Amino acid sequence: MEDALLLGVEGVKKTILHGGTSELPKFITGTKVTFHFRTQLCNDERTVLDDSKKVGIPMELVIGNMFKMEVWETLLSSMRIGEVAEFWCDIIHTGMYPIVAKSLRRIAEGKDPVDWHIHTCGIANMFAYHTLGYEDLDELQKEPQPLYFVLELLKVEQPSEYNRESWALNDEERLKAVPVLHGQGNKLYKMGRYEEATLKYKEAIICIKNVQTKEKSWEAPWLKLEKMALTLTLNYCQCLLRMEEYYEVIEHTSDIINQHPGQLSVSFCMASAPMLLRCSNSVLSYALGIL
C-alpha cells in the first residue's frame, strides 16, 4: 500500500491499494470506463453504503458526459488498468452521491434508473416527496459528509471501440436519437409488436428526461421537451392497451393529468379521452367478469 497521494484537486486524497498495469490510459471525451466501486462512510466502522461487486454489476460511465458525480471522472482518470485505489473525498464532491446511488440501486434491483413516467425533474420530485426511497441515502442527503470511494479500474474503451447506447450519448445526441426511436416505435406498433415498441418509446422518453433535468422547470425549453415526452407517453400507453395492461395505463395518464394543470392538461385530456374511455371500460368489464 502506498502512502496517500494528493491528486492536485481540492478535497481529494488518494491511496493506491493495488498497482495497475502499463501506461496511464488516454481519457478523452467519449471514453467509456468500466470499473467496480465501493462507497464507505468516514466512521470508525467504515460502513459500506454500496458495493458493485456484491451486486455483481460493474459501473460504466463516459468521460465528458456530464455524469452527476463529476469527481469520479477525475478519480478514474488518475488510474491504470487493474489498479485499485481508495479515495477520500470531502463534502464539496459528495453532495450528489445520494441521488446517483438511488439510480444505481434501482438498476441493481432491475428497475428503471429514473422514474421516467413522472413528469417533473428528479430534484423537484425529491423535495416533493421528502425521500429518495432509501433510509441511509435520506440521512446522507440531509447531512452531507465526506465519503471513501474504493475504485477498481477494469477497462477503458476509446469512442471508436464500442457501440454507444443511449445512456452514453451527450445531450445533443440524445435529442437526435428521439425522433429515430419514435419512428422505430411507430413502425413496431403498426406491425403489432407492441412490447418491442414500448421499449423504443421508453428509451426515447428516458433520453428526453435526461436532457430535461438540466432545464428549469416550466420554462420554455423544459415545456418543449415535456410536450415531446407526453406524445411518446401516449404512444407507450397505446401499446399497453393492446397488451391489456389497463391499470398501468390509468397510472401513467393519471400522473400526467395530476401534474399538469391548465391548458396542457386540457389538451392532453382531449387527445387521450378515447384511450382513457376504452381503458376504463376494459377495466370495468374485467372487474365485472371477476365478480
SS (H, E, C) 21-79: ECCCCCCCCCCEEEEEEEEEECCCCCCEEEEHHHHCCCEEEECCCCCCCHHHHHHHCCC
| Rounded Cα distance, 131 and 145, in Å | 18
| Rounded Cα distance, 244 and 43, in Å | 51
Cell readout for 67 is 455524469
pLDDT along the chain (291 residues), means of 10: 64 93 88 94 95 90 80 94 96 92 81 49 43 89 94 91 65 84 92 91 87 84 89 89 84 73 48 52 42 33
Domains located in the chain, CATH noted: 5-161 (3.10.50.40), 168-290 (1.25.40.10)
Local structure of 96: helix, strand or coil: coil
| Rounded Cα distance, 83 and 77, in Å | 11
Instruction: Look at the alpha carbons of 274, 275, 276, 282 in this order and tell me if their dihedral is positive or negative.
Output: positive
pLDDT at res. 203: 86
pLDDT at res. 187: 92
| Rounded Cα distance, 76 and 36, in Å | 11
| Rounded Cα distance, 5 and 42, in Å | 18
58 φ/ψ angles, rounded to the nearest 5 degrees: -70, 160
**pTM, to two decimals:** 0.58
pLDDT at res. 6: 59
pLDDT at res. 67: 74
Indicate the residue type of 134. Answer: Y
